[in-house]
Amino acid sequence: MKRLIFSMYTDNIEEYKTSTNDFKRNQFEKYRNLIEKSHKDYALSCKADYVLLNPREVFYDMLQFEKIYKLEEFCNDYDEVLYLDFDVVPNKNVSFFEKNDLKEKICCHWIKREFEGLFGSLKELIKIKQRDYCWGPMEMHVKTCVKKSMLLLENTKSTDKVVNTGVIGLSKKTAELLRFKERMNHCNEVFRESLIDNLYPFEIYSNWEPNNEVYFSYLIERFNIPTQEIGMQWNFMITEEFNEMSDAAYLIHHVTKEFEKSFGNVESNSG
């Protein structure tokens, strides 16, 4: 069984995104060698190869699509491939490949954002969130609405969930079912139609943008591709809302980029 773990990192990236602000870029620069070493050590424990790609693409949104393209591409040479965002740090030497069914299913973690009603509680939710922040394209409620609208246009039943693509396991078989890159034009066409024909308030649909997690989730549900929910332990997200570590987690996803929670404080890039 030929297996690969890979990630992507570049310090040449656009600056205007909240996902790439000065603090986060500085954190990556400070901890990048420690993160890469943790990935290599984890791959070794999994008896897998490891590759860290350094893409030339500078636009954050395009990089998010590129990682899915590369995930499919690597499946041409490997039986099973695990992608980790570069802010994901292994916390235990428990093999992802041995605990999850990559051969038959796309292995991923879904995030649920449920709406109790379209024009009742949804409008109340909009009012609440507008007091704190706008309905930006990276907000998970917004991504859920985009995906649901795209599927509704094709008369396909949808869930209130979207895949977080920070940790994804794929095989040759499931890559052939997904065909993400091949179906990009179709996804873009349905997305553009959803901007015109949807059931959501202006506050939500005015911020929609093409998104890798939306398209990934859309394709899974549109073509009924089998998935395995890997659970929070394999994609344990440290966010502003939930900022605590867990000893039970196998992979820590540092959304806030506070890598000191895994490695301790360092003064500069550890070489």
Q: Where do the domains of the chain lie?
A: 1-100+230-271, 112-161+181-224
For the stretch 24-29, contacts whose Cβ atoms lie closer than 8 Å and that sit 24 or more positions apart, written own/partner, are 24/257, 27/257, 27/258, 27/259, 28/86, 28/87, 28/257, 29/269
pLDDT category at 138 given cuts 50, 70, 90 is confident
100-119 pLDDT, tens digit each = 999 999 999 999 976 555 44
pLDDT category at 16 given cuts 50, 70, 90 is very low
Whole-number pLDDT of residue 60: 82
pLDDT category at 204 given cuts 50, 70, 90 is confident
Whole-number pLDDT of residue 141: 82
pLDDT category at 206 given cuts 50, 70, 90 is confident
Whole-number pLDDT of residue 150: 97
DSSP letters spanning 31-44 = HHHHHHHHHHHHHH
- Report CA-CA distances (Å) from 198 to 33, 52, 153, 191: 45, 40, 8, 10
The percentage of residues in the chain with a pLDDT greater than 90, rounded to a whole number, is 71
Averaged pLDDT for residues 13-42: 84
Q: Helix 60-74 and helix 212-222: axis angle, to 10°? A: 40
Bigger pLDDT: 156 vs 133: 156
55-76 pLDDT, tens digit each = 876 688 889 999 999 999 999 9
Angle at 209 between CA 7 and CA 21, to 5 degrees: 55
The residue among 165, 142, 140 whose CA lies nearest residue 88 is 165
The whole-chain average pLDDT of the chain stands at 89
pTM value?
A: 0.90
156-183 pLDDT, tens digit each = 989 999 999 999 999 999 999 999 999 9
Give me the count of residues in the chain.
271
